[in-house]
Amino acid sequence: MYRVAKASEYLVITGAGINDIKIAKKAWILPGQSSSKIDISPVNYTFEVQAMSAEKLPFILPAVFTIGPRADDKESLYKYAKLTTSQDDNSNHMHELVKGIIEGETRVLAASMTMEEIFKGTKEFKKEVFETVQLELNQFGLIIYNANVKQLVDVPGHEYFSYLGQKTQMEAANQAKIDVSEAKMKGAVGSKLRDGQTLQNAAKIDAETKIIATQRQGEGTKEEIRVKTDVKVFENEREAEVAKANAELAMKKAKWAQNSQVAEVEAKKAVALREAELQKEVEIMNALTQTQKLKAEFLSKASVEYETKVQEANWELYKKQKEAEATLYEKEKEAQAQKAIAEAAFYARQQAADGELYAKQKEAEGLVALAQAQGAYISTLSGALGGNYWALRDYLMINGGMYQDIAKINGEAIKGLQPKISIWTGANGSGEGGDGGAMKEIAGLYKMLPPLMCTVNEQTEMLPPPWMGKINNQS
């Protein structure tokens, strides 16, 4: 059978003549072979991952991932084909697999970041989620074509983002109110300042105009008087009424001088009155400006104090919550520490008991080994002495230094006394045995024992042990 796959599909062939699997777009399906189709079209996966930040604040992260097999990589396509060919069309195996990877990596990443870092750095958070999830999907031959992390959502009962948005909104509204008040204040002050400057400039120009006009008028009058005076002087020279002309001229001069002075005084007074009026208006505007400024300052201060009180209340609540959590965590750690201490003490006691038992066992084994060695030693000595018990006993007493200890004890007992000393030798008076063999020293020791025991009995009235023999009264 000749089969052809669609543009977004591949044929996966297994069976006779194929070691693992064969992937192709079109191929002959031979007897003993089977084929199936895999779809490489990307699929959208929509999740709402419930995660928790480093401060243990839960939140919901809605996300949409577009994931599909890596068609340009033959090895990845083989991985994907092996993973999906055993699943039927209605299976949710792939969906559950992708969902588990995304939720697990997102929760691990969110647990290492604070809520503020997640909220402000959404782009970086999305990038890190994308990279970590892609690393896990590589082993299944899948690739993320697109990932869209939506707006973070509060978990019911933990409205962090809602409160944060309200805080930002209130801060923006308060700042806008402050900006509007400042703009109104600047506009009113600027308008009044322009009006005052206009009035001042107009009054100044009017005063200067009047002064110049008066000066021009005085100069014209002076010129006219000069011409008339010259005429009168000329006429008085010609006529006989020079005195009358001079008198009239003097009167006119006085009158003109008076008028000129009055005009100057009136001009000065008018200027002073106008200046006083303008100064009054300026003071009124300054008072209004100061009033508006104080209103704006008190309003801003009240808003800031309100926000400060709200933030302090929130901080106190958050601090108490954290203190309660810290206390609970400390109690849990103390309980765990006490449990660990109890376990350690029990383990130490158990190890000490095991060590003591082991020491006792080893001590018992040593005693058994020592007893076995001593038994072998005595058995060997007994064989060497021909099984003679008395010879073995004497050898052990001599080798153990018992006779030396007896002599030492007796010497200590009679120290400082004046004992009777008896010297006893053998029959030949030499103190040596007659045989002169290997048992010479032992024979000499045996010869010394009777007189030694007799001496001890005479000095201390002590008798030797029964195993060493008896002392006769006549001896």
In 3D space, the residue among 118, 115, 9 whose CA is nearest the CA of residue 57 turns out to be: 115
Whether 424 contacts 451, CB under 8 Å:
yes
Whether 196 contacts 285, CB under 8 Å:
yes
The tokens describing 213, both together, are: 């006009």
pLDDT in tens, 358-378: 888 888 888 888 888 888 888
Question: Where along the chain do its domains lie?
Answer: 1-39, 40-158
SS3 sequence, the chain?
Answer: CEEECCCCEEEEEEECCCCCCEEECEEECCCCEEEEEEECCCEEEEEEEEEECCCCCEEEEEEEEEEEECCCCHHHHHHHHHHHCCCCCCCCHHHHHHHHHHHHHHHHHHHCCCHHHHHHCHHHHHHHHHHHHHHHHHHHCEEEEEEEECCCEEECCECHHHHHHHHHHHHHHHHHHHHHHHHHHHHHHHHHHHHHHHHHHHHHHHHHHHHHHHHHHHHHHHHHHHHHHHHHHHHHHHCCCHHHHHHHHHHHHHHHHHHHHHHHHHHHHHHHHHHHHHHHHHHHHHHHHHHHHHHHHHHHHHHHHHHHHHHHHHHHHHHHHHHHHHHHHHHHHHHHHHHHHHHHHHHHHHHHHHHHHHHHHHHHHHHHHHHHHHHHHHHHHHHHCCCCHHHHHHHHHHHCCHHHHHHHHHHHHCCCCCCCCCCCCCCCCCCCCCCCCCCHHHHHHHHHHHHHHHHHHHHHCCCCCHHHCCCCCCC
Q: What is the pLDDT along the chain (475 residues), one digit of tens a residue?
A: 888 888 878 888 888 888 878 888 888 888 888 888 888 888 888 877 777 777 677 777 777 888 888 878 888 888 888 777 655 555 577 778 888 888 788 777 777 777 776 666 567 777 777 788 888 888 888 888 887 766 666 666 655 566 666 666 677 777 777 877 777 777 778 788 888 888 888 888 888 888 888 888 878 788 888 888 877 777 777 777 777 777 788 788 888 888 888 888 888 888 888 888 888 888 888 888 887 777 777 777 777 777 788 888 888 888 888 888 888 888 888 888 888 888 888 888 888 888 888 888 888 888 888 888 888 888 888 888 888 888 888 888 888 888 788 888 877 777 766 655 555 454 444 444 444 555 677 777 777 777 777 887 887 777 777 776 777 664 4
Whether 62 contacts 153, CB under 8 Å:
yes
Whether 101 contacts 73, CB under 8 Å:
no
Which amino acid is it at 424?
W
Measuring CA to CA, how many Å separate 291 from each of 184, 279, 297? 13, 18, 10
pLDDT at 91: 58
First to last CA, the chain: 133
- Class in CATH terms, 40-158: alpha beta
The tokens describing 28, both together, are: 């002959």
Residue with tokens 């792939």: 94
pLDDT in tens, 438-469: 567 777 777 777 777 788 788 777 777 777 67
Indicate the Cα dihedral angle 325, 328, 333, 337, nearest 10°.
Answer: 170
- The CB-based long-range contact list for 308-315 (8 Å cut-off, 24+ gap) reads none
Beta-carbon contacts of 324 under 8 Å, excluding residues fewer than 6 positions away, are none
pLDDT at 23: 82
C-alpha triplet 209, 210, 216: angle, nearest 5°: 90
